[in-house]
Amino acid sequence: MYDQFAVDRLIDTWLLEDIGYCDLTAQTMIDAGDVGAFVMNAREPLIVAGIEVAARIFARYDPSLQIDVRVRDGERIGRGGILLAVRGSARSILTAERTALNIVQRMSGIANETARYVEAIQGTKARLLDSRKTTPGLRMLEKHAVSCGGGLNHRLGLDNGVMIKDNHIAVCGSIKSAVERARRQLPVLTKVEVECDRLDQVAEALETEVDVIMLDNMSVADMITAVQMVAGKVKVEASGGIRIDTIRAVAETGVDYISTSKIMQSAPAVDIGLDDGE
């Protein structure tokens, strides 16, 4: 989920970065009236994310282009599947090509990686969350890609909820004091989460008005104990050191959510190309 107005501003920045003053190759080799027809195709199996953004890049650069989007975000396609077709000014298509490919390759890569983690915790109650460790300027789109892969979004930004961490606790003096200060000025529908890295902090947090307790870098054994202590009173999130080879054991502790930055930071771009469609 993203806002089109905000995406258009990003697209303008991307195109300006890639084109500079002009596309020398296209303008010196291709006549202004030359028409091209191309298809964007998957060169490996993937989960689509960002295809409407890619289409918007072509349209933003040249509104006269005819663009036919063949798939939807979140759809799984196999090798050779066509994502979109574009026809019109060959100059325009080839100038905007790399920018369009870059964003859909990046976003689909995140969707693919997210799906791997979601599959790893199938059959447990845990749901996968992302984090704020995103590429600067691309958070809105990277978090959309996570949702395409079956994950859930954590905070979109600092204004989306209160996350009380160790440094906040140090300044306020205690978890209890930190939660009380936050609750005094907080909008009534906003949630409060407290980060705990010890079991005694979990016990302290349970005596306050928190909505979620995050178990930060705890051992699996301590997570099991923490879940038993909470006993369903609030939601429990596990975070820190989560990888594809560790997430199953964490999910089996009984936590409600597991958050990781790996699904975005370690996601390889997928292989997608733009080929002659005539």
Residue 12 has pLDDT above 70, yes or no: yes
Are residues 88 and 168 located together in one domain of the fold? no
Mean pLDDT of 120-147: 96
Asked if residue 34 lies in contact with residue 75, where contact means CB atoms within 8 angstroms, the answer is no
Name the band, by pLDDT with cuts 50, 70 and 90, for residue 3: confident
Asked if residue 273 lies in contact with residue 142, where contact means CB atoms within 8 angstroms, the answer is no
Tokens found for residue 199: 């079991």
Tokens found for residue 190: 């906003």
Are residues 32 and 62 located together in one domain of the fold? yes
How far the first Cα of the chain sits from its last, in Å, is: 34
Range of the domain at 69: 4-117+267-276
Give the pLDDT confidence score for residue 4 in this predicted structure: 86
Q: 4 or 135, which is more confident?
A: 135
Residue 11 has pLDDT above 90, yes or no: yes
Mean pLDDT of 116-122: 98
Are residues 239 and 128 located together in one domain of the fold? yes
Name the band, by pLDDT with cuts 50, 70 and 90, for residue 278: low
Tell me the CB-side half-sphere exposure of residue 102, using CA atoms within 13 A.
Answer: 13
Are residues 235 and 272 located together in one domain of the fold? no
Nearest to 214 by CA among 231, 234, 243, 228: 234
Are residues 151 and 215 located together in one domain of the fold? yes
Are residues 257 and 225 located together in one domain of the fold? yes
Residue 124 has pLDDT above 70, yes or no: yes
Are residues 105 and 143 located together in one domain of the fold? no
Q: What is the CATH number of the domain that holds 178?
A: 3.20.20.70
Residue 277 has pLDDT above 90, yes or no: no
- Give the catalytic positions in this structure: 98, 133, 165, 195, 216
DSSP state of 152: B
Residue 137 has pLDDT above 70, yes or no: yes
CA distances, 67 to each of 63, 145, 269 (Å): 10, 22, 23
Give the pLDDT confidence score for residue 231 in this predicted structure: 97
- What one-letter code names the amino acid at 174? S
CA distance 201 to 1: 35
CA distance 148 to 1: 9
Give the pLDDT confidence score for residue 41 in this predicted structure: 96
**Number of domains comprising the chain:** 2
Residue 35 has pLDDT above 80, yes or no: yes
Instruction: Please work out, in degrees rounded to the nearest 5, the angle formed at the alpha carbon of residue 57 by the alpha carbons of 23 and 49.
Output: 130
Mean pLDDT of 218-226: 97
Give the pLDDT confidence score for residue 154 in this predicted structure: 95
Number of residues that make up the chain: 278
Are residues 27 and 85 located together in one domain of the fold? yes
Are residues 13 and 103 located together in one domain of the fold? yes
Name the band, by pLDDT with cuts 50, 70 and 90, for residue 38: very high
Tokens found for residue 228: 């038993």
Residue 2 has pLDDT above 90, yes or no: no
Are residues 9 and 77 located together in one domain of the fold? yes
Are residues 272 and 256 located together in one domain of the fold? no
Asked if residue 111 lies in contact with residue 49, where contact means CB atoms within 8 angstroms, the answer is yes
Are residues 179 and 229 located together in one domain of the fold? yes
Q: What is the CATH number of the domain that holds 37?
A: 3.90.1170.20
Mean pLDDT of 171-191: 92
Question: Across all residues in the chain, what is the average pLDDT?
Answer: 95
pLDDT more than 90, % of the chain:
95
